[in-house]
Structure 1
Amino acid sequence: MATPLNRIRNLGVIAHIDAGKTTVTERMLFVSGAKHRAGEVDKGNTVTDDDPEEAERGITIYSACVRFPWREAQINLIDTPGHVDFTAEVERSLRVLDGAVVVFSAREGVEAQSETVWRQADKYHVPRLVFINKLDREGADFEAVFKEVRDRLGANPVAIQIPVGLGPTHAPQPFRAVIDLVKQQMVTFPGGKEGKDAVYEAVPEDLLPTARKWREKLLEALYDYSNELMELALSEEPIPEALLHKVLREATISHMIQPVLCGSALHGMGVQPLLDGVAAYLPSPLDVPPMVGFVPESAGKHKGKTEEGAPKKIVRKPDPDEPFCGLVFKVLPLKTGDLHWVRIYSGTLRGNSRVLNARQDKKENVAQLWRIHASKKDEQIDEAGAGDIVAVLGLRDSVTGDTLCDTRDPILLESIEFPETVISVAVEPENTTEKKKLAEALAMLRKQDPTFRAEESEETGQTLISGMGELHLEVIRHRLERDFKLNVRVHKPRVSYRETVAGVAEVEGDCHRNINGVQHTAAVRLRVEPFTPTGPLAAKLPPVVVSIDSGQNLPDQYLNVVLEEIENAASGGGTVGFPLMRMKATILGGTVHETEATEIAFRTAASLAFDKALRTAGPVLLEPIMKVEITTPDDHMGDLVGDLQQRRAIIHQTEQRGVDTVLHAEAPLANLFGYSSAMRSLSQGRASCAMQPTGYAPAPDEVMRTFMGE
């Protein structure tokens, strides 16, 4: 029997690495009865980290989906990685989820990747709860983390729980319970790691003043969202618990607040109330806005466009009786056939049916539908409805971000955008017989991971693989060796540079050529200049914006040819062969010969004008810059700062976080290869760091000269 839509919760657990996401997920599975014993990351026996590489490293690399009941709710939970190299897993998960739990360590607080996942949740308008974990750790500080969430993330956290005590068992006042500010009761967890019960009891007398202070803060934060609540408070009447739940839910779903809960997942404290919060405050598929898509171009010019020429919008409600539409958000290549993870937004999807891939305009067979458990097939089902997440067997051409829909009612949903790769290495098989096997393995990995690239270099004939960081490529290499039994040689990492221009240049490209006795003559005038787009549409613009000057004089026949040639040239790379970005090219016009003007002439003239403009404006090499956050004891600060300065790093800020110092810096990726090992060596293994791409900046002249062979 299908679960009613209002009881479904599609939930993601997101956080910085080591904040405790996977432990929270394991504990949820255990207390819900979906698992008999909670696994531990350090022992490599967790459900969601089922890949050998994950178990070995103790980190999440691939998002995993588990389904379990809690009270009246049915939860589809996706556990995501915390390492920036695997940010695509977070991106694709948040795109299809309705709500999220963001986990913070009570000791480390808001870290570099915490900011990234928070921004990703903002981008996809995902309501979220905050769970401050690890309150039993040395140096835990609930109030400091609460303040950081507000100040560093620009959030509006509202505490609905506070901890009783902080720190490990040997601390003067160890963490031992939480106070529920909505119920005005203390919650204890007598079973510890092995327990599933949360016991509610009266708040002890000595804790009442603190509880009342935080309860008043909670009510003050909610007055803005409910007149009824305000009136009860002004008349000093008791506030019903049901009204508080209602206001908290509405404000959370509207992105006005983020309720804050707390605990220690490893020691079985706080997870049951967190699940209650998920069921009470996070949205069901009925609470999120209906999906808006477009009529695909394949539907025909008149069907798919408005009178103004814009694509027609279609709205699909989360209703099993609406036409089917869903989004492919992950592909797992298997020898028996690829497993496609699909979020169903409307209608009903049945096994042994046919659907339309709207982006590719291809019909696909849905052979089987499966429930997912971690990353594997769990239970075959006949059909699944709106709001559900399922695995599909039988699709041949669909990839991540593709829309599947009813063949009679096509709709195209917005796809998923992934960040550009920042690092490349050359790989080659040990012998020529394995070359084909390597190409097939890389194609399979590329299908699974949208941020992984593999292509053959025209210059060297080597296969270049590109990814989001050193760890990303290291995991890929290990998979080639372990899963595909390929021994590959890996060469030195290569940075993905970009190019732009230093200044403005207006040039003319001329073509005077005789080809097979026919004269081809044309001239094209072009301007190139640096250009950094801003505003909400900036992300939608191409790296090189090509525009047409309003005063240009070319007839449409030749203007379209010139425009196409300039766009092709702009996508083909700059002076030293790297992709171009932050640049604008404007077609100013040209000269049309009365008898010798041809399309070939204008293509040639446009290409020559573009090359000439790049050289005249002065090429600039842009290098990827990484945001670096290092946490270290004071003793090693001097050595780490000196090492960073040698790597051309700019240190923006240092701050005290408990007993440690946190360095915030930016440094070129090219100078950070092997940095993790160097940092551990300099700090005797006591420092930790997090990196994430922050953009591009001009590289020093000597780097450019290296590529130009000077």
Structure 2
Amino acid sequence: MKLLNLGILAHVDAGKTSLTERLLYAAGVIDEVGSVDDGSTQTDSLALERQRGITIKSAVVSFTIGDVTVNLIDTPGHPDFIAEVERALSVLDGAVLVISAVEGVQAQTRVLMRTLQRLRIPTLIFVNKADRAGAQYDGVLTSIAGKLSPAIVPMGLAGGLGSRSATFTPYGPDHHPHLLEVLTEHDDELLATFVENEKAISYDDLRRKLAVQTKQAVVHPVYFGSAITGAGTDALTEGIREFLPLAAQDLDAAVDGAVFKVERGPAGEKVAYARMFAGTAHVRDRLRFGDGGEAKLTALEVFGEPAATEVRAGQIGKLWGLADIQIGDRIGSSRHEGGGFFAPPTLETVISPVRRSDKGNLQVALTQLAEQDPLIDLRQDDLRQETYVSLYGEVQKEVIQTTLVTEFGIEVEFRETTTICIERIDGVGQAVEFNKKDENPFLATVGLRIEPAPAGAGVGFELEVELGSMPYAFIKAVEETVRETLGQGIHGWAIPDARVVMTHSGYSARQSHAHAVFDKSMSSTAGDFRFLTPLVLMTALKQAGTTVHEPMHRFRLEVPTDTTRAVLAALARLRAIPQVPALAAETSTLEGEIPAAAVYRLEQQLPALTRGEAVLESTFNRYHPVTGPIPNRPRTDHDPLNRRDYLLHVQRRV
């Protein structure tokens, strides 16, 4: 069986879900094309998706093109749900990027295309909405070449733009000068043949070369049409079959798969969506996954193959029985690939139930939502009995709120959204507390040195003590507590990058009174090291010092030239750092950096400043030291920076 796992990606409202409906209709999977406006589409199954006309959760449907079975993944287009797109990308063989013929290349379109190119995912471009008033052909092609990639090949000519009779006529053998020009940019052998004898190159040769370069993700065929009327979709379907690569199917290799989505079934059971890259998994097989997990596969469903009892390389399946599996887990190995292609969310808010009696149920519900979207990143403040959730934007907040009401019957409210900062270490600090000395109430010796680490390096833990100097369980307890403690620095923000070295260690060996059993009060336990480590680490951290950094977005802003002065003034008030503007007769371009906290305010101000004609795109760029008052985040632990209170709480627990 030939298989292709295909992603449909686009900026919100470009017509991506409508295109999915049209492809399913053309393949005979559905009897009529569903409408996003009417809420009758196959892939938007959530009530809020149907209500708002947007895709929130990725969905998988199957259809056939000739002898090829296509698993089509419809992904969200709204920037607030970029995490869903991220997970879908990890399982794709190819993609179709949908662009509106009216709005052209939009902010999210550029983010998606950059990611597709970085991951070298073969991509076709479909310019949708050719039947809408204001649809363009040359203008959109120019925009695609300038903003997405110059290596594009128009596959036909659009006619009747802006009317229901809009058409798309594929180019034939007599039209290939532009095709030859693009292909020779990436093929020296073809260029040499062209120079020696242009007539030796046939149209069939060029078509085959186009297929090769498209599968290598260096060239992108472009189609025009309308998902509503069906114009151009037949040509696109043929392009999917001809130009995108089939899934590799190594059935004899060891099982290797990736989990890209997790949901709960009707009985509350966990269901994992997984793409198999190699091997075959059968019902009742014991599968390894993630960080050492293992469980029996109790049931499965395979998209495009009813009544299957196995999921093979190249296929996408729904798996039951793997209760501890998480999004990002690798099936068949002890790996968790939690790292993503997109920046983490930079906003957070406190969520609380409207009815106090729902407090316990809210924790259970949020835990299940975090299973489906790990980037929600719940943070529990046990001291104030508050729960924080991280977000990409305000729409995501509405989705969480509606989901909790419809699926769990819990009404919630949010506090004002705030920005998530981080702390970076300024210098080197070290501290040590010895067993049975000074004011150390714990039967443990811990010495730590903390140093800065490059951005993105993570938290590294190293030993300057001998590994056999004390039981490994105690060393592991120190390492785990170090990582946990660095979740809140001097000002309460996480420290994502650090080098921590254990410089001193010591413990009290297992002891007992004469003729008596083990006496915990005379012997070290892992708890002694877990309680002492935060005090030592924070003492060292205070010596090293930290600086709070706020997230900065890279922005690109197109505005009417006569409004540039007013927009620059607004950017200055929002602490943006613009570059020299690129002025033009009608539309000017401003680029630069702006604090993430100010992006939402800028979006609100732009319509009034630019008569509603501004086009803004912004993406996370880096973290930058905070200027002005240092923002502090309320601590959710027992505050090891305050030794007296910390010991009071900890010893009371003991």
Which runs of structure 2 are paired with 1:544-559 in the superposition (5 Å)? 544-547=459-462, 557=469
Q: Is this contact kept in 2: 1:327–1:342, CA < 8 A? A: yes
1:198 is aligned to none
2:272 is the counterpart of 1:340 = yes
Secondary structure in 2 aligned to 1:473?
Answer: helix
Q: Is this contact kept in 2: 1:19–1:105, CA < 8 A? A: yes
Q: Is this contact kept in 1: 2:102–2:135, CA < 8 A? A: yes
Aligned counterpart in structure 2 of residue 59 of structure 1, from 31, 54, 59? 54
Quote how far apart the aligned CAs of 1:42 are: 3.4
Distance 1:675 1:15, change over 3 A: same
Quote how far apart the aligned CAs of 1:448 are: 1.5
1:576 is aligned to 491
Q: Is this contact kept in 2: 1:428–1:488, CA < 8 A? A: yes
1:191 is aligned to none
Question: What do residues 378-403 of structure 1 show as CA deviations (whole Å, max 9, x unaligned)?
Answer: 95444443211122344422222223
> Which range moved further: 237-246 or 440-449?
237-246
1:289 is aligned to none
Which runs of structure 2 are paired with 1:256-405 in the superposition (5 Å)? 256-286=218-248, 318-336=249-267, 337-350=269-282, 352-359=283-290, 360-371=292-303, 380-405=307-332
Equivalent pairs counted in the alignment come to: 616
In the alignment, the residues of structure 1 paired with residue 89 and residue 255 of structure 2 have an alpha-carbon distance, to the nearest angstrom, of: 21
Secondary structure in 2 aligned to 1:576?
Answer: coil
Question: What do residues 613-649 of structure 1 show as CA deviations (whole Å, max 9, x unaligned)?
Answer: 4323332111122344555556765555444432222
Quote how far apart the aligned CAs of 1:447 are: 1.6
Quote how far apart the aligned CAs of 1:486 are: 1.4
Tell me which amino acid in the other structure corresponds to 1:557.
S
1:78 is aligned to 73
Distance 1:698 1:100, change over 3 A: same
Distance 1:319 1:216, change over 3 A: closer
Distance 1:583 1:671, change over 3 A: same
2:155 is aligned to 161
2:451 is aligned to 528
In the alignment, the residues of structure 1 paired with residue 476 and residue 490 of structure 2 have an alpha-carbon distance, to the nearest angstrom, of: 20
Q: Is this contact kept in 2: 1:14–1:102, CA < 8 A? A: yes
2:222 is the counterpart of 1:234 = no
Secondary structure in 1 aligned to 2:287?
Answer: strand
Quote how far apart the aligned CAs of 1:518 are: 10
1:177 is aligned to 168
Q: Is this contact kept in 1: 2:435–2:442, CA < 8 A? A: yes
Question: What do residues 414-458 of structure 1 show as CA deviations (whole Å, max 9, x unaligned)?
Answer: 634245332222122223322222122212212222222224212
Aligned counterpart in structure 1 of residue 208 of structure 2, from 231, 243, 246? 246
1:217 is aligned to 181
Quote how far apart the aligned CAs of 1:365 are: 3.0
Q: Is this contact kept in 2: 1:554–1:592, CA < 8 A? A: no
Quote how far apart the aligned CAs of 1:77 are: 0.8
Aligned counterpart in structure 1 of residue 419 of structure 2, from 467, 492, 495? 495
Aligned counterpart in structure 2 of residue 471 of structure 1, from 372, 395, 415? 395
2:364 is the counterpart of 1:415 = no
Quote how far apart the aligned CAs of 1:219 are: 5.2
- Indicate the RMSD between aligned Cα atoms, in angstroms: 4.2
2:574 is aligned to 647
Tell me which amino acid in the other structure corresponds to 1:214.
H
1:622 is aligned to 549
* Unmatched tracts of structure 2, length 5 or more: 510-523, 636-654
In the alignment, the residues of structure 1 paired with residue 603 and residue 492 of structure 2 have an alpha-carbon distance, to the nearest angstrom, of: 30
In the alignment, the residues of structure 2 paired with residue 90 and residue 117 of structure 1 have an alpha-carbon distance, to the nearest angstrom, of: 9
Identity %: 27
Tell me which amino acid in the other structure corresponds to 2:403.
R
Distance 1:37 1:645, change over 3 A: farther
* Unmatched tracts of structure 1, length 5 or more: 186-210, 287-317, 373-377, 406-410
Tell me which amino acid in the other structure corresponds to 1:430.
V
Q: Is this contact kept in 2: 1:366–1:393, CA < 8 A? A: yes
Aligned counterpart in structure 1 of residue 368 of structure 2, from 437, 444, 468? 444
Quote how far apart the aligned CAs of 1:99 are: 1.0
Distance 1:330 1:497, change over 3 A: same
In the alignment, the residues of structure 1 paired with residue 314 and residue 441 of structure 2 have an alpha-carbon distance, to the nearest angstrom, of: 64
Aligned counterpart in structure 2 of residue 95 of structure 1, from 77, 86, 90? 90
Tell me which amino acid in the other structure corresponds to 1:569.
V
Quote how far apart the aligned CAs of 1:152 are: 4.6
Q: Is this contact kept in 2: 1:333–1:447, CA < 8 A? A: no
Q: Is this contact kept in 2: 1:141–1:166, CA < 8 A? A: no
In the alignment, the residues of structure 1 paired with residue 186 and residue 531 of structure 2 have an alpha-carbon distance, to the nearest angstrom, of: 66
Question: What do residues 249-270 of structure 1 show as CA deviations (whole Å, max 9, x unaligned)?
Answer: 2222233333333334344322
In the alignment, the residues of structure 1 paired with residue 280 and residue 589 of structure 2 have an alpha-carbon distance, to the nearest angstrom, of: 51
In the alignment, the residues of structure 2 paired with residue 556 and residue 144 of structure 1 have an alpha-carbon distance, to the nearest angstrom, of: 69
In the alignment, the residues of structure 2 paired with residue 363 and residue 707 of structure 1 have an alpha-carbon distance, to the nearest angstrom, of: 39
Secondary structure in 2 aligned to 1:9?
Answer: strand
TM-score (norm 1): 0.75
> Which range moved further: 239-248 or 456-465?
239-248
2:484 is the counterpart of 1:484 = no
Secondary structure in 1 aligned to 2:359?
Answer: helix
Which runs of structure 2 are paired with 1:142-161 in the superposition (5 Å)? 142=137, 145-146=140-141, 149=144, 152-153=147-148, 155=149, 157-161=151-155
Q: Is this contact kept in 2: 1:159–1:260, CA < 8 A? A: yes
Q: Is this contact kept in 1: 2:429–2:541, CA < 8 A? A: no
In the alignment, the residues of structure 2 paired with residue 161 and residue 511 of structure 1 have an alpha-carbon distance, to the nearest angstrom, of: 74
In the alignment, the residues of structure 2 paired with residue 583 and residue 159 of structure 1 have an alpha-carbon distance, to the nearest angstrom, of: 47
